[in-house]
Amino acid sequence: MSRSFYPPQRTLMGPGPSDVSPRVLGALARPTIGHLDPLFVELMDEVKALLQYAFQTDNQLTLPVSAPGSAGMEACFVNLLSPGDKVIVCQNGVFGGRMKENVERCGATAVMVQDDWGQPVSVDKVAAAFDAHPDTAILAFVHAETSTGVRSDAEALCALARERGALSIVDTVTSLGGIELQVDAWGADAVYSGTQKCLSCIPGLSPVTFSPRAVERIQNRDHKVQSWFLDMQLVMGYWGGGGKRAYHHTAPVNDVYALHEALLMLREEGLAAAHARHRHNHEALVAGLEAMGLAMAVAPEHRLPQLNSVLIPDGVDDAAVRTILLREFDLEIGAGLGALAGRTWRIGLMGFASSERNVLYCLAALEAALAREGAPIKAGAAVPAAMAVFAA
């Protein structure tokens, strides 16, 4: 006989999932009701309104896809693209590569705009790609590149797409709730996110929102969407509102309770206050890391407050340090990915995990682990440096 699984209480400061608040976990444990129960239908309407607030949009087609962020990504691509379409895909980290995969699996052509890992997407290069490919239908890019900790200028990129008559697909998996995101004001067309990053909800849902222009493109398709599950024309019948919901799939009822609670917490705090909290905790963490003698991997003007890439000092064993943090401090931080594997750590300060407590805990634990590994760090400086930022 196997036994029940009781996970340890970790502190999650990696690239996601982030710590889930007790309020959200409590919501998850409430009684399951039917997914067509009138009370659940009401809850779905509330979730839609709360998502519209989080995304800053009036888009009617706004809903959580019943699967993780990668499914939201796929939903945007399969619904907007048809075979033969040309798509400019910006790549400055892991997730742009996944966008390319999606484009090609739709039978469309990806025109790649590459930037170095650790740099934002170059708006000038994208403009040049539009010059070279004026028949481009879609521009796809990542707002907050979680693999490197870099923010790209989503407002400028969405404006450029509009100017060139293209629609935009924007990955906001790590940006939603952590940094400014204005879907309507920026004119973004198909936007997807995730629940386990700055919303601090459990993993497994992907909020998406489609502009009226994107909806028009979906409705005028002459080619069936290749995915039955992610076909928004079918999903709309279930999430569309107006009381007449058709069965499409069984909504993950308790997950939706959890998302509702997480979005309620975001609205109670307010977007501006949530963004300011992420920024402030980021500044304190960076002050502490630098006081210890570590260097950040990304230039200050491009840094994401919710995902901090720090360079691993020469001669320090990446995995050994992360193992000490996990085994002895129950603290998870992220390893570098792709071009940055073995060169950086990624320290998340996302959602509920973006707290003064976590900043101080991480600095103290990292200092202890680095000292144990014989790294040349300045002992005792990190926590006071962070506290000075909090006191300011």
- Cβ–Cβ under 8 Å, residues 169 and 76: yes
Output phi, psi for 176, to 5 deg.
-55, 120
List beta partners, residue 192.
171, 208
Who contacts 226 (Cβ-Cβ below 8 Å, separation ≥6)?
78, 105, 106
**Nearer CB in complex with ligand PLP: 95/239:** 95
CB of 117 to ligand PLP, least distance (A): 13
**Nearer CB in complex with ligand PLP: 171/261:** 171
**Nearer CB in complex with ligand PLP: 153/290:** 153
CB of 197 to ligand PLP, least distance (A): 6
CB of 230 to ligand PLP, least distance (A): 13
Buried b / exposed e along 245-279 (16+ C-beta atoms within 10 A): beebeebbbbbbbbbbbbbbbbeeeebeebbebbb
CB of 353 to ligand PLP, least distance (A): 14
**Nearer CB in complex with ligand PLP: 173/386:** 173
In what helix (H) or strand (E) does residue 169 lie, and over which residues does it extend? strand 167-171
**Nearer CB in complex with ligand PLP: 93/288:** 93
d(CA 323, CA 168): 40
d(CA 14, CA 308): 9
**Nearer CB in complex with ligand PLP: 275/360:** 275
d(CA 289, CA 323): 19
CB of 71 to ligand PLP, least distance (A): 7
d(CA 233, CA 274): 34
Q: What is the CA radius of gyration of the chain?
A: 21
d(CA 308, CA 330): 19
Q: Quick check: bond before 120 cis, omega within 30?
A: no
3-state secondary structure of 372: helix
CB of 69 to ligand PLP, least distance (A): 2
CB of 125 to ligand PLP, least distance (A): 20
CB of 379 to ligand PLP, least distance (A): 34
CB of 154 to ligand PLP, least distance (A): 12
**Nearer CB in complex with ligand PLP: 173/359:** 173
**Nearer CB in complex with ligand PLP: 304/369:** 304
CB of 193 to ligand PLP, least distance (A): 9
Cα–Cα distances in Å, from 191 out to 66, 80, 149, 249, 305? 15, 12, 19, 22, 21
Which pair of tokens denotes residue 101? Answer: 């995969």
Q: By the criterion CB under 6 A, which residues form the site for ligand PLP?
A: 16, 68-70, 73, 95, 142, 146, 171, 173-174, 194, 203
Residue nearest to ligand PLP (CB): 69
**Nearer CB in complex with ligand PLP: 95/210:** 95
Dihedral sign, CA of 27, 28, 29, 32?
positive
**Nearer CB in complex with ligand PLP: 68/293:** 68
d(CA 129, CA 113): 7
